Chain A
Amino acid sequence: MTMAPRTLYDKIWDFHVVTEEPGRPSLIYIDRHYIHEGTSPQAFSGLKAAGRRVRRPDLTFAVMDHSVPTKNRELATIDPDAKGQFDALARNCRETGVRLFDMFSQNQGIVHVIGPELGLSQPGMTIVCGDSHTSTNGAFGSLAFGIGTSAVEHVLATQCLREYRSLPMRVQVNGRRPVGVTAKDVILAIIGKIGISAGVGHVIEYAGETIRGLSMEGRMTLCNMSIEAGARAGMVAPDETTFGYIEGRPFAPRGKDFQAAVERWKNFATDPGAVYDKVYELDGTKIVPQVTWGTNPGMVTGVTGRVPSPDSFADPGERKAVERALAYMDLKPGTAIADIPVDYVFIGSCTNSRLEDLRAASKVVAGKHVASSVKLALAVPGSRTVKAQAEKEGLDKIFTDAGFEWRDSGCSMCIGMNEDVLPAGMRCASTSNRNFEGRQGKGGRTHLVSPITAAASAIAGHFVDVRETGVDLE
């Protein structure tokens, strides 16, 4: 019997089915479970209340990231609620034997940054975390998705999840990516085109020349925002770029084992002729640097564009949402994006805080200074490993000389659960992934951009086309 051609998603799924019964969601095995202080306390207490144990502490990895202070770690004690969560995570890990990167660990970082960085996330795996941006790990050709706290408890207890198969969807981006256009611009352009609910019930596979040309860092940025298109997961089939990134990392197989792993990983690719439920195609050569103007990531346009008018939206629900968004963002239809001033700049988050992001942004600000109208510009490395390497390369100095604050790693102003909160009424050029009302701080106004656009806008004091700054962006 010959098997029908399968997608990458189907192959990972099939490999992880523990049991299947008609009329029930399948039981699938989970290879890696990452947890953080924000969504795990109730899972551990539920487990304890039911007298259950953690089945596979060796496949579970914990980190403190969401509420950690980025200025001075000792400040943790000032916020009693955050401290309560840190203490609970440390206690739960101690009691159950789960490895923990606490906020003082040299390997600490945002959960979605450190999994790949340590070589824990590998092709063909199932990876979950109580956090929607777990999709970041799909860059390795793994099935990685966010789960709620009840599901965290389920995985702790059983190392499995009960799931229905999602529908595979392909987003094909053709052609060479233009200079000055980053992975962030590619994903924002995708979401702008397909909308924020196109991916509901689906897992996206990104393909095409533009995608193949991205580094692993870029692919992580891309997959990170799959959830902003409504998909629980996004993935890129593994290739030499993937294998090269993994090799030599602490949890990557070594020597002969690595070669054997690579051979196995190569099978995680979509077969020719496999069928997707939906296919979208974009011309990558036409993508320009993107800036969001509204309160969801689909409300986006090119930096050379203008704020749209609500009247240009046919759907009445959409029109109302755009009216609300423009009122919240304090923007008038027709305003040129380049005329929008910037008060705050945030370079960080699991979307854009890896070494490549910081290197690129530092090039843009080198030898210049943040505009005097900018109240605060933050550069927050995604992990302490990134931070150490950036400092070795002198990037911290470039940022601070330009007027940025250089911080310790954590989620920081992406979500504002620590002291890094965007004040009400302030407008922020942010490299994070969500521009929802109040996301970075109540009343704060978020514009999502790439690290180089954020950097260039910090210098100019308003949004600018980074391609026009004269900086060599190759």
Chain B
Amino acid sequence: MQPFTTHSGLVVPLDRVNVDTDQMVPKQFLKFLTREGYGRVLFYDWRYLPGERPNPDFVLNQPRYQGASIMLTRRNFGCGSSREHAAWGVADYGLRAIIGPSFADIFFKNCASNGILAIVLPDEQVDDLFRRAESTPGYKLHIDLPNQTLRDDQGLELKFEIDEFRKQMLIKGLDEIGLTLENEVEISAYEKSHQPEPEQHAPVDFSFPAAS
């Protein structure tokens, strides 16, 4: 996973509440076998007109926001489906951080798994950032994760909260599975004391019997 320490980038404001993951990566793109290539289809139905022509009305297509790597959003971003494709799309598009007043739980976790920093700020601060991003062409933010700060070039400086564990995972770009495997002793002990295996009492039409 790509570590996240500090990042400076152009800000794109997506002024919508309750953006759902169906919108971020529509169903027709859920059939691939890899984690790559979802940046092209991110926000597909909003971003493209028939024939995959860019829809000039959609904010991501406006010339001034090309190359943006930080997105501003509204409340409950990433709600709905658990599809991690949404987070893969965000990362593949080149967005490294999303800033908003709240995120849906599963999407929030999926961001962390993919090296994307999701920053929660109070509504008033998000409102202020929207105003600044919309009124200042080329508006940039500078994110410092170790110090948990956010700065712009007009003198704004904000602190943000993040859970220490997630912060360290992001800074080090750590693989959570590797970390959990270090708990092998505890997991085996739990299994010995807690785990009855599922017992099958009637015929069931499986393709492959479970390996022991």
User: B76 near A200 (CB under 8 angstroms)?
Assistant: yes
User: A150 near B110 (CB under 8 angstroms)?
Assistant: yes
Interfacial residues of chain A within 156-194, with CB under 8 A of chain B in the complex? 157-160, 162, 164
Instruction: Give CA–CA (A464, B28) in the complex, Å.
Output: 33
Give the one of B31, B76, B163 with max A CB within 10 A.
Answer: B31
User: B16 near A18 (CB under 8 angstroms)?
Assistant: no
User: A132 near B22 (CB under 8 angstroms)?
Assistant: no
User: B31 near A417 (CB under 8 angstroms)?
Assistant: yes
Instruction: Give CA–CA (A153, B87) in the complex, Å.
Output: 16
* Chain B: minimal CB distance from A424 (Å): 10
User: B190 near A39 (CB under 8 angstroms)?
Assistant: no
CB-CB under 8 A from A250, the residues of chain B are: 200-204
User: A24 near B22 (CB under 8 angstroms)?
Assistant: no
Interface size class of B (residues with CB under 8 A): 35 or more
* Chain B: minimal CB distance from A433 (Å): 10
Chain A count of residues within 8 A CB distance of the other chain: 89
User: A58 near B84 (CB under 8 angstroms)?
Assistant: no
Per-position contact with B for A410-445: 1 when CB-CB < 8 Å, else 0? 000001110000000000000000101111001000
User: A148 near B110 (CB under 8 angstroms)?
Assistant: yes
Q: Is the interface of B mostly helix, strand, loop or mixed?
A: loop
* Chain B: minimal CB distance from A407 (Å): 18
Among candidates B31, B180, B205, residue contacting A85 with C-beta atoms closer than 8 Å: B31
Per-position contact with A for B77-120: 1 when CB-CB < 8 Å, else 0? 00111111001000000000000001011100110011000000
Per-position contact with B for A78-111: 1 when CB-CB < 8 Å, else 0? 0101101100101001101111111001111000
Task: Report if A150-B84 is in contact (Cβ < 8 Å); known contacts: A196-B18, A250-B204, A251-B198.
Answer: yes
Task: Report if A38-B200 is in contact (Cβ < 8 Å); known contacts: A101-B206, A107-B205, A162-B176.
Answer: no
User: B20 near A158 (CB under 8 angstroms)?
Assistant: no
User: B113 near A417 (CB under 8 angstroms)?
Assistant: no
User: B27 near A415 (CB under 8 angstroms)?
Assistant: yes
CB-CB under 8 A from B176, the residues of chain A are: 150, 154, 162
User: B27 near A100 (CB under 8 angstroms)?
Assistant: no
User: B206 near A158 (CB under 8 angstroms)?
Assistant: no
CB-CB under 8 A from A79, the residues of chain B are: 31
Question: Does chain A have a CB within 8 A of B194?
Answer: yes
- The 6 A-B residue pairs with the shortest CB-CB distance, nearest first, are A97-B211, A150-B113, A81-B31, A148-B84, A146-B82, A148-B110
A-B CB contact pairs (8 Å), 10 listed: A19-B183, A98-B208, A100-B206, A101-B206, A162-B176, A196-B79, A230-B76, A251-B198, A321-B17, A436-B23
Task: List 14 extra interface pairs beyond A158-B187, A434-B20, CB under 8 A.
Answer: A19-B183, A39-B84, A42-B35, A81-B32, A99-B207, A99-B209, A100-B206, A148-B84, A158-B183, A251-B199, A416-B27, A434-B81, A438-B23, A442-B26
